[in-house]
Structure 1
Amino acid sequence: MKLREIAHSRSGDKGNISNISLIVYDLADYEKVKEQVTAEKVKDWFKQIVHGEVERYELPVLGAFNFVMHGALGGGVTRSLAIDTHGKSLSSALLDMEIEV
């Protein structure tokens, strides 16, 4: 199944760093996502654009994760040639990731 079936997401940016939150709709799905959506898998998922490390922060009480992707925005808003220089669409791209149920 795609992540979008059990979670929603938001993204933001600061310089050349993209920040993506991933929040499960039902806390019962938190552990499933925790096991399968690792920092390594997110880095691989965005391998075409993320040129730095990816850090994952866990917020189990909220049923959420925060992924901080370094070197993800082509140098930042004022330097990037990308159409979406703020990386706002990256949250939707993450929700396309498939996980096992």
Structure 2
Amino acid sequence: MKKKILEIEDYDYKETTNFIDKSKPLKLKDLNLELPSEAPTKVISLRLPNELLNKIQAYAGQQDISYTSLIKIILSEGIEQKYTSRSAS
């Protein structure tokens, strides 16, 4: 284990690009890697009243998270609540 740690630390100070053979570039397929067919998130544009956005940003600041993360949390919790209340009816 100690040897492995020393090896890892050693790479922090070495120029690792010398280990790459630039004459034989690899493709993701060669590395057995695949990119997802669709991105896990989608960019949207959402217009909010200034007062609402200010409140969201202030609350997010109190919670020490970004306001965009807070919006995602609120949307996620809200839609889950809608689905659970609908299935309970």
What TM-score do the two structures reach when normalised by structure 1?
0.20
Structure number with larger C-alpha Rg:
2
